[in-house]
Amino acid sequence: MTIGVTDGTHNRQAGRVPTEVEPVTLVTSTPLTLRGRTFTAANPAVMGIVNRTPDSFYAAARYDDLARAAEAVGQLVADGADLIDVGGVRAGQQGDWIDENQEIERVLPLLELIRANHPDLLLSLDTWRAPVARACAHVRIDLVNDTWQGADPELVHVAAELGAGYVVSHTGGAAPRTDPHGVSYGQNDEPDDVVADVLDTLRLGAERAERAGVNPTSVLIDPTLDFGKTTRHSLRVLRATAQISTLGYPVLQALSRKDFVGETLDLAVDDRLDGTLAATAVAGWLGTVCFRAHDVRATRRVVDMVASIRGDRPPMVARRGVRH
């Protein structure tokens, strides 16, 4: 599918309507399949976030109380979430360090409660630890969201054992719960160096997941903005989403209220929704099929609108100017 673009300068000067324009090819998103449900460019997946942490960087997503967390899940589903991502450890280095047993104590009761209340809801577990995923196996985990680039090499094998999908991430080799410091890619840290590193890491990680036994259509690749990256890196990688899409795996973008948005616009976490949605629209246009989000209703509307502008999704109603 193509659309035409032109700067219009010559035609304005000549007073003519443009008749020849260079086409822009839209990236075809690779579909994502989880437990028999398939998401495409026409129906992108929105992943709602529920953090069982008292120290999550975004206060509105902290659910230390189990009942409140379960209630939040119901609201996220009502707002349009296709799957729920449950995490028990803050990503950054601030906050308390907790061991795997403490992490299990945080996430497992909520996962069990969600499964009881929503038997058919897709569940994602945000962890880098294989023992945590294995401890939650009986809940039926549908996706293992490994945000730390295989720091525990056993985790991908656990995902395969569970018949779950698996998220391949890029952190530039950073260890779990470390914030970027003095990060550079390549000798001179040229703009495309970080893109090359992301592409190589995601390709190799996806191939490893396949070898471990994860279904290729359930291997998500996530460029993981902010993790192991400066804001300059994250913006460059976001612009390269179309290149990432051509690797042949469904793309996940976790953009919600991240620091690259905050630094770009000089905004605090609570004021980053507009910037997040702008980044979401760009990522959707460039081939992303799954979006991890705190603000599910707004994200759902943005990705559906982008899908319709691309021509992948028909309008829900068509009354204006239609002969009845």
Q: Which amino acid is at 231?
A: T
Q: At the top level of CATH, which class does the domain 27-310 belong to? A: alpha beta
Q: What is the pLDDT at residue 55? A: 72
Q: Which sign does the torsion angle of CA 195, 200, 203, 205 carry?
A: negative
Q: How far apart are the first and last CA of the chain?
A: 30
pLDDT (0 to 100) of residue 151: 94
Q: Scan for tokens 């000067």, then name that residue.
A: 13
CA 58, CA 287: separation in Å to the nearest integer?
A: 27
Say how many C-beta atoms besides its own lie within 10 A of residue 195's C-beta: 19
Report pLDDT for 7: 53
- E strand map for 52-194: 83-87, 122-126, 143-145, 165-169
Which residue is associated with the tokens 């550079």?
184
* Predicted TM-score of the model (pTM): 0.91
CB atoms within 10 A of CB 16: 9
Query: For the chain, what percent of residues have pLDDT higher than 70?
Result: 93
Note the pLDDT of residue 1: 46
Range 231-253 average pLDDT: 97
Chain center to CA of 170: 12
Contacts of 209 (CB under 8 A, 6+ apart): 156, 159, 160, 166, 168, 219
- Please give the Cα distance from 74 to 68 (Å, whole number): 10
pLDDT-derived band at 16 (thresholds 50, 70, 90) equals low
For the ranges 12-16, 188-192, 267-271, the lowest mean pLDDT is seen at 12-16
Separation between Cα atoms, residue 277 and residue 272, nearest integer Å:
9
